[in-house]
Structure 1
């Protein structure tokens, strides 16, 4: 009898935690956004964006009711070299003084197979907004062992053209296409104290 009650309680928790829709806050310590491109065909450098903030709403029963909204501070960009970092933040590139934040806001989420999603949304960089499609994979949805709250994790990829966002310097020698890889972990926020 005790086992039956425990199983029923766990199923009730799982149903309430992950059935429709659950709102999560992105964990900036476990969210990475990496961009890479070809540099004159010699190398494929990468930059990372840190200090990512955002919310993710996931509805396992009705995926189309899911959404994501993310903010990436440009001064959180890291190019693995202080000099290159400064260069990318200059007016020649991201112009972080005038455009301090890049954003992504979903407009549509669709199921794309077991544990797979297509997330369409608006990406804004340097004040220019263009539609982007993320191919996302659900890594895990469960109670986080450290936070003891519902958590979720995704990986996602997309390719964008930097010229679409006013970043066309050296195209085509430095590739116009930029591959973006994202991994994110998010958790239900702590209740207000």
Structure 2
């Protein structure tokens, strides 16, 4: 009788579990350079200046059947800012912009995810940059998921958001065309 009860419980648990979708956990693949945190800002109203942060790490959880249960957390090294110009990068690390000596890290942690269409969502979260924490919304798009050639499983997303520099206590004024910076994010995660 005990064996039959245990067997019934095991079968019931398996069936109940099969009907529930669980979010999978992923580590962002920065070692393979399959993830990027890039930015662009208008330079004096004449052109665009592009840059990236070379060193960051993070993780996310994702379930295609329940995207609202997804979570994201990223930490980046602000001193890794790179714009292909050593003097400009030095200036960006200074107190005029990122204050790297005081604030060596920037972080983003999601607080909510809202599906906005097929394969797209708004990820709301707290961004801490230059010692200031503010809520931001990243407009994200699902790129794809599946098995990789090494026996793993991956999922990828892209997203963007626009930040007002003064909201993050960046007081350097480069003119009216350069008050905002656009973050462009592309991540590929390896399922754990």
TM-score normalised by structure 1 residue count: 0.84
Partner Cα separation in structure 2 for residue 119 and residue 136 of structure 1: 7
Deviations 1:83-129 (A, max 9, x none): 11111111221111110001100000111111111100011101101
Alpha-carbon separation, structure 1, partners of 2:182 and 2:95: 22
**Which residue of 1 is the match for residue 179 of structure 2?**
176
Residues 112-168 of structure 1, C-alpha deviation per residue, up to 9 Å, x if partnerless? Answer: 11111110001110110111111111101111223x112110010111101100113
Aligned residues: 171
2:42 is the counterpart of 1:42: no
Task: Give the number of the structure whose residues are more often strand, by fraction.
Answer: 2
Larger radius of gyration: 2
Alpha-carbon distance in 2 for matches of 1:174, 1:39: 7
Q: 1:90 aligns with which of 91, 94, 106?
A: 94
Taking only aligned residues, the RMSD between alpha carbons, in angstroms, comes to: 1.4
Q: Deviations over 1:14-42 (max 9, x none)?
A: xx9xx421000001121111111111112
Task: Give unpaired runs (5+ residues) of structure 1.
Answer: 1-15
Please list every run of at least 4 consecutive aligned residues from structure 1 whose deviation after the TM superposition is greater than 6 angstroms. none
User: What TM-score comes out, normalization by structure 2 length?
Assistant: 0.85
The answer as to 2:25 corresponding to 1:23 is: yes
Q: 2:96 touches 2:171 (CA, 8 Å); kept in 1?
A: no
Q: Using the alignment, how far apart are the partners of 2:178 and 2:102 within structure 1? A: 25
